[in-house]
Amino acid sequence: RSQLSSCYLTTVPDNLDGIYESIKENALLSKFAGGLGNDWTRVRALGSHIKGTNGESQGVVPFLKVVNDTAVAVNQGGKRKGAVCTYLESWHLDIEEFLELRKNTGDDRRRTHDMNTANWIPDLFMRRVMEKGDWTLFSPSDCPDLHDRFGKDFEKAYVAYEQKAERGEIKPSRKVPATDLWRKMLSMLFETGHPWITFKDACNVRSPQQHAGVVHSSNLCTEITLNTSDTETAVCNLGSINLLRHICNGEIDHAKLQRTIATAMRMLDNVIDINYYAVKKARDSNLRHRPVGLGVMGFQDCLYELHIPYASPEAVDFADRSMEAICYYAYWASTDLARERGKYASYKGSLWDRGVLPLDTLDLLAGERGGYVEVDRSSTLDWDALRRKIATDGMRNSNCVAIAPTATISNIIGVDASIEPCFGNLSVKSNLSGEFTIINAYLVRDLKRLGLWDDVMVMDLKHFDGSLRPIDRVPKELKALYATAFEVEPQWLVQAAARRQKWIDQAQSLNIYMAGASGKKLDETYKLAWISGLKTTYYLRTMGATHAEKSTIKAGRLNAVSTHGEHQESASAMDAAAASARAQMAAAPATDIKFCAIDDPGCEACQ
């Protein structure tokens, strides 16, 4: 069956029929190769009253165990593992137990080892953290309207519920210092890689479709921000531009980029009509709003081609200019399609219809937050011309741009994934198709030019996990240009992402790489992400505290790639001294000893 869509988003109601219907829907969508994002915020908390039985609810966690096992039982079309991410808002009374779902200790019946989780965080919570205030936790059965509110509207309702709780009119509820809950969020993120940090209000205030509903969650990879309801399952069709093929003579080839994007947008729009839908709610939603998600890959390759280090203001500026061009031409292509094929059904009343473009929504966000938005607002293209064209022709697609992980397709065409920094100049990727050795061809080219590419260099790269930093004979300029992901300070990743986000009508899969992670560094990085106007973040990737020593002995076997835990190396250990090992390196040709791929090869990004 021609199931060509990538992502599905659902919201789960607070009744038994709806809960198990949602789990069934997960199974059907996963069967036909869809990645899933579920919003579970409406399901009442542990200890809440159940009118039908006059009993107490067991909360959201036992149901999430069923979701986890369903994802394991029903894989994605037999091609890769079933994958789902569950989202919960930060005021839910079960939030603290939700944070611990991926822990390896505790009652295993209340753990979900195979499922992803994400925090859906309102701006009011972040302001309470910044201002060191208190935060009150509720069961959604006592304040059901909070689920559909955002911005100042959410704050007004939330504060009213807090006052009721203070008077003892809402039970159960619990007050905690906001900084304590934030600290626990970051601690669990560091310990387990989950739940991811995503921001509810940035997704909603900046959504062009806020007139048609509410964004209740993102998707499996945190780049899709579409409305969901009891009658609509959000669907997104993804494609990605190979940005490297649009660099010519040190500049972006705008004419070629525009032609490529026009073709890509037409193809993605066609998918909506020819797609097979396993669930009727998904078909209805997709045909009504017609969202697509055009993204990018090969960003790091472009920086190599332009000789720009990732950790530099020039890289941030390139992220800004390249994403501005991609978004401009994507929106232009959609309005061209609207003139040819007609506007999408829910266009009337959208931000597009009102002449508000993604760049303009930064001011809307700052207004709702009362500040706390620090993003460069500069532009280089004629956005007023685009506004006039949209006013005349409308839009074919409610949403046009989203940056997905592109982990497999980027490998196939030979560029670095998505907007990622290079993970390692020599590394191994593992998925259900097998294991793939990845070498940085740009680095090899430059080392050959300098006469530095030899067997010793190959073994040095293996020994130092693909890093140039400890290799003395490599020039500083090359070390900066070919710095690996863990050698790039996370602030550069966030700053580049903020420049992209100002143009994007959806979001981006932004992994945060952090060497030497600490509570202070985590706190600063994720607060910076919020203040920079980001809608979502993805995995936090940290380095392990210990590493196995690399062997230089020819083993005559395929390498093994670790499949669990944080960044670890999988290699034979030996008790030889370093000097002896270096002597063997010089004497023997390069061996096939591999070390680790990214943290979890079972995750969607690593697939």
Active site (catalytic) residues = 219, 221, 223
Contact call for residues 168 and 194 (beta carbons, < 8 A): no
Q: What is the spatial distance between Cα 583 and Cα 567, in angstroms, rounded to a whole number? A: 28
Characterize the bridge pairing of strands 434-439 and 426-431.
antiparallel
Q: What is the spatial distance between Cα 448 and Cα 451, in angstroms, rounded to a whole number? A: 5
Q: What is the dihedral of CA 154, 160, 162, 166, to 10 degrees?
A: 180
Q: What is the spatial distance between Cα 271 and Cα 269, in angstroms, rounded to a whole number? A: 5
Q: Which of 576, 565, 574, 572 lies closest to 594 in space, CA to CA?
A: 572
Burial of 563 (0-12, 13-18, 19+ CB in 10 A): middle
Contact call for residues 490 and 515 (beta carbons, < 8 A): no
What 8-state DSSP symbol labels residue 539? -
Q: What is the spatial distance between Cα 306 and Cα 315, in angstroms, rounded to a whole number? A: 10
Helix residue ranges per DSSP H, 378-501: 383-393, 407-413, 441-449, 455-463, 476-481, 490-501
Q: Which of 271, 126, 131 lies closest to 200 in space, CA to CA?
A: 126
Contact call for residues 210 and 368 (beta carbons, < 8 A): no
Q: Locate tokens 């997905």: which residue?
A: 404
Give the 3-state secondary structure of residue 587.
Answer: helix
Dihedrals φ, ψ of 515, to 5°?
-90, 140
Q: What is the spatial distance between Cα 261 and Cα 239, in angstroms, rounded to a whole number? A: 10
Q: What is the spatial distance between Cα 121 and Cα 181, in angstroms, rounded to a whole number? A: 12
